[in-house]
Copies of this chain bind each other. A is one copy, B any other.
Amino acid sequence: MKSTVSGTADGTLSYEQAGVNYDLIDPLKVTAQRAAASTATLLGRHGFAEVAASRGESAYVVDVGPFYIASIVECLGSKALVADEMAALTGRSWYEGIAQDTIAMAVNDLITVGATPLVVQAYWAAGGSDWFADAARAQALVAGWKRACEICGVAWGGGETPALAGIVEGGRIDLAASCTGLINPKQRLSVGDRLAPGDTIVLLDSSGIHANGLSLARKLVERLPQGWLTEVAPGMSYGEALLAPTVLYSPVTEALWQAGIVPRYCANITGHGWRKLLRHPGRFTYRIHTLPPVPPVLAFIQREARQDDREAYSTLNMGAGFALFVAAEDAARCVEIAQAQGIGARIAGGVEDGPKRLLIEPLGITFGDEDLQLR
Contact = CB atoms under 8 A, between A and B. Distances in A.
Given A157-B71, A174-B125, A182-B64, A138 B81 contact: no
A56 B329 CA distance: 48
Contacts of A133: 24
B118 A158 contact: no
Interface string A244-261: 000000000000000000
A138 B156 CA distance: 32
A46 interface: yes
Interface string A140-178: 001101100110011111111111111111101110111
A139 B35 CA distance: 10
B172 A166 contact: yes
A266 interface: no
Interface stretch (A37-45, A315-323, A339-347): A37-45
Contacts of A116: 46
Contacts of A80: 167
A71 B119 contact: yes
Given A167-B169, A169-B169, A172-B166, A156 B36 contact: yes
Contacts of A72: 121, 157-158, 178
A138 B28 contact: yes
Interface stretch (A15-23, A198-206, A296-304): A15-23
A27 B134 CA distance: 11
As for how many copies of this chain the complex holds, the number is: 2
A122 B32 contact: yes
Given A81-B167, A118-B48, A123 B35 contact: no
Contact of A149 (B1, B42, B166, B178): B42
A21 B129 CA distance: 6
A145 to B, nearest CB: 7
Label chain A's interface by main secondary structure: mixed
Interface string A48-74: 101000010000101011110101111
A48 B174 CA distance: 31
A3 interface: yes
Given A69-B118, A138-B28, A75 B40 contact: no
Contacts of A39: 146, 149-150, 154-156
Interface string A62-105: 10111101011111011011000000000000000000000000
A284 interface: no
Nearest to A56: B158
A43 B159 contact: no
A205 B114 CA distance: 43
B121 A167 contact: no
Given A129-B21, A161-B32, A3 B166 contact: yes
Interface of A: 1-3, 19-25, 27-29, 31-33, 35-36, 38-40, 42-43, 45-46, 48, 50, 55, 60, 62, 64-67, 69, 71-75, 77-78, 80-81, 116, 118-119, 121-123, 125, 127-130, 132-133, 135, 138-139, 142-143, 145-146, 149-150, 153-170, 172-174, 176-178, 180, 182, 184
